[in-house]
Amino acid sequence: MIVLILNAGSSSLKYQVYNMTNESVLAKGLVERIGMDSSIVTHKSTGFEEVREVSEILDHVTAVRRVIDMLTNREYGVLKNINEIQAVGHRVVHGGEVFKESVLVTDAVKLEIRKLFDLAPLHNPAHMMGIVAVDSNLPNVPQVVVFDTAFHQTMDNVAYLYPIPTVLYRRHKVRRYGFHGTSHAYVSVHAAEHLQKPLEDLKMITCHIGNGASCTAIVGGKSVDTSMGMTPLEGLMMGTRSGDIDPAIVPYVMNKEELTMNEVNSMLNKHSGMLAISGNSSDMREITEAMQEGDKNAQLAFDMYVYRLVKYIGSYAAAMNGLDVLVFTAGVGENSAVVRKAVCEAITFFGIELDEQANAVRSGDIREISTANSKVKVLVVPTNEELLIARDTFRIVNELK
Ligand code: AMP
């Protein structure tokens, strides 16, 4: 089965095409600047040179049509015919409390996703544009939606409620949802497989640390707590997001600096985190380089980043009353040996023993970086959210047959 995976943003559309017979990627690409002048399409068919096109793409319907044109292009296309696409899978950020797993798109599902626009105003409306664009370009092809929040729906109310008036939960669904669920789910399954241990027997903490960052406590394959909250702003210190701060800072700063709600929101999401502390970068590579050249602000940003992550790992180990496996994934987790080393060296009392040589190896493969004696196994697991979306899409569409 050929499956098209879409991640629609408000002015962008990321795509990947999988042949599910062997889970190989046939093509992938990105449409940018949809609805603006000079939209850009970057397309790469496996085995061919990358193609870049600048044209006018006014909306998502036209963007999906362009993607199909590229996939069926005579020269570099990977499909003979548009009918070869048998299913489409969409990444959807917010599934609220309604969606506890991936589902087939129906009119009722579309209505529910629309009801969630309030909770994810920057993301869900864009995803819906992707779904509607497929409806009009591939009207007979089944679509599946895979939610970033779904994996965390197993959390207990002890973990997902905030200690604020419960009327806010009842009326407005103010609670912890958690994000990056597809990634946490994917890496936990692969970590258990790699260790050849049943996932059901493991207490695990998965650290998805990239530009956005979250960590999740997983018991027996189920998310029991996660650091992102009602929005992806809570939790760890990130590239440009603050993560946890005292909520009273918000009204205080609004008052002192005469900021509007939008301005303070933008400050916490776009001008905080490592960018704010280092003074010039949100990128862990640049922070590490500057730190090694003696930049004190970069050093402080790095130290705070690690310290806050370590605190979460400690609290989740306590929440689970144990820890068997610690997983690092995403841009920083997969690539930064320096961050992994600093984290592991701060929590040796758990019985973590880092294999420094294994940690220093650069590789795109899943690998263990703890010593044979380490009580807690430490793994680097490259994440692959698109593949998980493709697998769910394939499984759900197959069940229709
Ligand atoms: P992601 O959002 O998963 O793409 O991750 C982006 C983050 O990964 C950025 O902060 C990058 O600086 C970081 N990153 C990527 N490669 C490396 C590397 N080799 N060393 C340190 N950080 C890296």
pLDDT in tens, 218-257: 999 999 999 999 999 999 999 999 999 999 999 999 999 9
Pairing relation of β-strands 85-92 and 2-8? parallel
Q: How far is the CA of 275 from the centre of ligand 1 (A)?
A: 14
Specify the pLDDT at position 198.
98
Q: Can you tell me the distance from the alpha carbon of 184 to that of 205, in angstroms, rounded to the nearest whole number?
A: 9
pLDDT in tens, 112-122: 999 999 888 88
Q: Contact 142/1 with Cβ under 8 angstroms?
A: no
> Catalytic annotation on 69?
no
Sign of the CA dihedral running 176, 181, 187, 192: positive
Are residues 247 and 361 both part of a single domain? yes
Q: Stretch 3-10: mean pLDDT, rounded?
A: 96
Q: How far is the CA of 332 from the centre of ligand 1 (A)?
A: 4
Q: Give the ligand 1 atom nearest the CA of 208.
A: 3
Are residues 365 and 266 both part of a single domain? yes
**Within a domain: residue 157?**
no
Are residues 202 and 288 both part of a single domain? yes
Q: Give the ligand 1 atom nearest the CA of 286.
A: 12
Q: Give the ligand 1 atom nearest the CA of 282.
A: 10
Are residues 363 and 256 both part of a single domain? yes
Q: Can you tell me the distance from the alpha carbon of 385 to that of 118, in angstroms, rounded to the nearest whole number?
A: 24
Q: Can you tell me the distance from the alpha carbon of 188 to that of 183, in angstroms, rounded to the nearest whole number?
A: 8
**Within a domain: residue 36?**
yes
Q: Give the ligand 1 atom nearest the CA of 288.
A: 21
**Within a domain: residue 156?**
no
Specify the pLDDT at position 299.
98
Are residues 336 and 269 both part of a single domain? yes
Are residues 208 and 272 both part of a single domain? yes
The residue behind tokens 């602000």 is 297
- CB neighbour list of residue 272: distance below 8 Å, 6 or more residues apart: 240, 241, 242
Indicate the top mutation candidate among 284, 340, 343 to test ligand 1's pocket, ranked by most ligand atoms within 8 A of CB.
284
Measuring from atom 15 of ligand 1, which residue has the nearest CA?
A: 331
Specify the pLDDT at position 121.
87
SS3 string of the chain?
Answer: CEEEEEEECCCCEEEEEEECCCCEEEEEEEEECCCCCCEEEEEEECCCCCEEEEECCCCHHHHHHHHHHHHCCCCCCCCCCHHHEEEEEEEECCCCCCCCCCEECCHHHHHHHHHCCCCCCCCHHHHHHHHHHHHHHCCCCCEEEEECCHHHHHCCHHHHCCCCCHHHHHHHCCCCCCCCHHHHHHHHHHHHHHHCCCHHHCEEEEEEECCCEEEEEEECCEEEEECCCCCCCCCCCCCCCCCCCCCCHHHHHHHHHCCCHHHHHHHHHHCCHHHHHHCCCCCHHHHHHHHHCCCHHHHHHHHHHHHHHHHHHHHHHHHHCCCCEEEEEHHHHHHCHHHHHHHHHHCHHHCCCECHHHHHCCCCCCEECECCCCCCEEEECCCCHHHHHHHHHHHHHHCCC
**Within a domain: residue 170?**
no
**Within a domain: residue 222?**
yes
Pocket residues: Cβ below 6 A from ligand 1: 210-211, 239, 283-285, 288, 330-332, 335-336
Specify the pLDDT at position 8.
96
pLDDT in tens, 99-148: 999 999 999 999 999 999 988 888 999 999 999 999 999 999 999 999 99
Are residues 102 and 205 both part of a single domain? no
Are residues 132 and 215 both part of a single domain? no
pLDDT in tens, 321-358: 999 999 999 999 999 999 999 999 999 999 999 999 99
What Å distances lie between residue 262 and 231, 251, 252, 271, 282, CA to CA? 15, 12, 15, 13, 21
Structure tokens at 61: 């319907």
Catalytic residue among 59, 148, 324, 392: 148
Q: How far is the CA of 338 from the centre of ligand 1 (A)?
A: 12
**Within a domain: residue 391?**
no
Amino acid 287 reads I
**Within a domain: residue 368?**
yes
Q: HSE of 80 in the Cβ direction (CA atoms, 13 Å)?
A: 0
Enumerate the known binding-site residues for ATP.
14, 208-212, 283-285, 331-335
What Å distances lie between residue 48 and 28, 96, 171, 217, 364, CA to CA? 11, 40, 53, 41, 22
Are residues 216 and 320 both part of a single domain? yes
Q: Can you tell me the distance from the alpha carbon of 6 to that of 107, in angstroms, rounded to the nearest whole number?
A: 19
Are residues 119 and 208 both part of a single domain? no
Are residues 115 and 227 both part of a single domain? no
pLDDT interval class at 199 (50, 70, 90): very high
Q: How far is the CA of 91 from the centre of ligand 1 (A)?
A: 22
Amino acid 197 reads K
Q: Contact 105/135 with Cβ under 8 angstroms?
A: no
Q: Which domain does 380 fall in, by range?
A: 195-385
Are residues 213 and 361 both part of a single domain? yes
Q: How far is the CA of 208 from the centre of ligand 1 (A)?
A: 11
Measuring from atom 20 of ligand 1, which residue has the nearest CA?
A: 336
**Within a domain: residue 280?**
yes
Q: Give the ligand 1 atom nearest the CA of 330.
A: 3
pLDDT interval class at 401 (50, 70, 90): confident
Structure tokens at 203: 């207490």
Provide the edge-to-edge strand list for the sheet that holds 51-55: 51-55, 39-45, 24-32, 13-19, 2-8, 85-92, 143-147, 103-104
Give the count of domains, the chain. Answer: 2
pLDDT interval class at 261 (50, 70, 90): very high
Enumerate the known binding-site residues for substrate.
91
Q: How far is the CA of 105 from the centre of ligand 1 (A)?
A: 34
Q: How much is the mean pLDDT over the chain?
A: 97
Residue 149's φ and ψ, nearest 5 degrees, are -90, -20
Q: What is the CATH number of the domain that holds 326?
A: 3.30.420.40
